[in-house]
Amino acid sequence: MKQWDIYTWEFDFGKHPVVVVSHPERVARKPAVNVLKCSSHRATRSPEPTELVLDEADGLDWPTLCACDLIFAVEKSELQDRRGSVTPARRRAIVSRVIQSFAWNEL
């Protein structure tokens, strides 16, 4: 498992793709990692300012909205079915969206 990998995680409301965003040292050494939730359905609208579209290039089946305004801590053992890895250009876009979503750019 690595930072930027996409897995499936079972939320209380169903299975969804998630992006591992924890620092590589945490991924290597700790039982829990931070993830961003993605939609389980095909994106049928443009992303909101706190979202980004991931797609087949990232290992998903279709264009999918990824929410960057809420970070979940999950046990690595609960992550299933590695789907792929976020492309380098979209990694930068996710980091930018997270910073904006938490208003860290206003500090």
Cα separation of 18 and 15, whole Å? 9
The domain made up of 5-106 has a fold known as SH3 type barrels. (2.30.30)
Q: Which residues of the chain are modeled with pLDDT < 70?
A: none
pTM of the model: 0.95
pLDDT of residue 98: 98
pLDDT of residue 102: 96
Q: How many other β-carbons are positioned within 10 Å of the β-carbon of residue 68?
A: 26
Return the structure tokens found at 2.
């690595």
